[in-house]
């Protein structure tokens, strides 16, 4: 959006230069009229050329204001050199232009060059570096680094409570491709997956409604991210570009992020540090969905995906039961609860 606004300003400035130069010329004279139309046609050709060159090149972001100043500086230096070239070409080929028309050509050329250099800088990656040694224009992040959520962290739901408690005092970002994956899970034909997807959407809606959590659904599209295959790979690249921290409960994604030097917050590791576990003797309600590995074991899952292994529940597949917690295990791969069958759920 900002880039299109800049393009509109560029067109307005070009038209203004033409109008100002037209006002300073007597267009009733044949010589002035010919010069004027030469300037108009040349100027419009330059505008169309640079606009097409800008629009058709791949889009990339650079929000650092220093980069814009750098592009303007380079554009002005190139324009000064080309202005001398315009005079030399005119003298070499004996092109007769009145002074206002010559000034207009130089202005048009300068505006186009400045526009193009700034546009290149605005669409360059955030790690853009100037050729002079030790001079680097890098994206600066003010305040806390954003927290990028993946699908597993949203479905887990605990990140909403953590942000609500202001433990993560940072803006929360959900990329568009993560939201799309969440929607696909919610539309799945598998009942368990569908419930997990809907739970994730409910958690996201709850976070958006909170006055203490700053949630942003990132709709931007970057060429590098769109060309990357796999949601996990896109997440790692997106987090690097946004200079953020990745929040997840996926054990394998956590390890890959650490290998690729991406800051990652594993919710399960955080929960393990806080010793949040089910206490022995507590009762819970769960639906048994499949048999366990051992005899007489039944397996169920909580809404957040926590696996529950229940002794004596192998024959209760497809039924809701009440269990008594005997122990629990919290690891980076997730949480497991072990229990004993007590009775059928009301």
Q: Which tens digits make up the pLDDT trace of 66-97?
A: 566 676 777 778 877 877 777 777 667 666 55
The whole-number pLDDT of residue 107 equals 74
Residues 171 and 264 in one domain: yes
Last residue of a domain, one of 250, 273, 296: 273
Q: In degrees, to the nearest 5, what angle opens at C-alpha 56 toward C-alphas 51 and 57? A: 105
Q: Over the chain, what is the mean pLDDT?
A: 78
Inside any domain, residue 203: yes
Q: Stretch 32-45: mean pLDDT, rounded?
A: 68
The whole-number pLDDT of residue 8 equals 81
Residues 294 and 227 in one domain: no
Structural domain of 173: 147-273
**Rounded to two decimals, what is the model's pTM?**
0.46
Q: How far is CA 31 from the centre of its chain?
A: 55
Of 158-172, 240-254, 311-325, the one with minimum mean pLDDT is 158-172
**Parallel, antiparallel, or unpaired for β 297-301 and 283-291?**
antiparallel
CATH number at 307 reads 2.40.50
Inside any domain, residue 130: no
The residue among 289 and 106 whose pLDDT is bigger is 289
pLDDT(139) > 50: no
The residue among 219 and 217 whose pLDDT is bigger is 217
- Please give the tally of structural domains in the chain: 3
**Parallel, antiparallel, or unpaired for β 283-291 and 320-331?**
antiparallel
pLDDT(175) > 60: yes
Residues 318 and 266 in one domain: no
Residues 197 and 176 in one domain: yes
Residues 6+ apart with CB under 8 A from 126: 61, 62, 63, 64, 138, 139, 241, 243
Residues 205 and 162 in one domain: yes
Inside any domain, residue 133: no
CATH number at 180 reads 3.40.50.1010
* pLDDT tens digits, 254-286: 999 999 888 998 988 887 776 546 788 888 899
Q: Stretch 151-165: mean pLDDT, rounded?
A: 87
């Amino acid at each position: 959006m900002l880039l299109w606004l800049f393009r509109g300003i560029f067109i307005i400035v070009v038209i203004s230069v033409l109008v100002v130069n037209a006002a300073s010329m007597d267009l009733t004279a044949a010589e002035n009229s010919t010069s004027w139309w030469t300037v108009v046609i040349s100027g419009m050709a330059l505008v169309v050329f640079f606009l097409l060159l800008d629009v058709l090149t791949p889009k990339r972001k650079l929000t650092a204001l220093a980069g814009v100043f750098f592009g303007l500086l380079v554009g002005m230096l190139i324009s000064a050199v080309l202005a001398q070239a315009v005079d030399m070409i005119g003298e070499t080929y004996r092109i007769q232009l009145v002074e206002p028309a010559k000034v207009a050509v130089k202005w048009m050329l300068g505006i186009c060059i400045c526009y193009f250099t700034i546009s290149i800088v605005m669409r360059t990656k955030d790690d853009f570096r100037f050729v002079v040694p030790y001079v680097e224009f890098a994206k600066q992040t003010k305040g806390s680094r954003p927290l990028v959520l993946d699908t597993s962290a949203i479905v887990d739901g605990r990140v909403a409570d953590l942000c609500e408690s202001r433990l993560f005092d940072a803006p929360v970002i959900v990329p568009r491709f993560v939201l799309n994956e969440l929607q696909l899970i919610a539309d799945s034909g598998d009942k368990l997956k569908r419930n997990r997807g809907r739970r994730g959407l409910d958690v996201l809606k709850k976070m958006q409604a909170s006055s203490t959590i700053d949630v942003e659904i990132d709709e931007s599209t970057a060429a590098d991210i769109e060309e990357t295959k796999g949601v996990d790979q896109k997440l790692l690249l997106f987090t690097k570009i946004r200079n953020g921290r990745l929040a997840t409960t996926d054990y394998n994604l956590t390890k890959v992020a650490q290998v690729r030097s991406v800051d990652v917050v594993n919710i399960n590791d955080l929960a393990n540090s806080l010793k949040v576990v089910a206490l022995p003797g507590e009762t819970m309600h769960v639906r048994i969905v499949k048999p366990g590995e051992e005899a007489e074991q039944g397996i169920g899952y909580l809404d957040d995906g926590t696996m529950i292994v229940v002794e004596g529940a192998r024959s209760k597949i497809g039924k809701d039961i009440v269990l008594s917690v005997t122990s629990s295990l919290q690891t980076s791969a997730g949480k497991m609860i072990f229990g004993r069958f007590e009775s059928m759920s009301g």
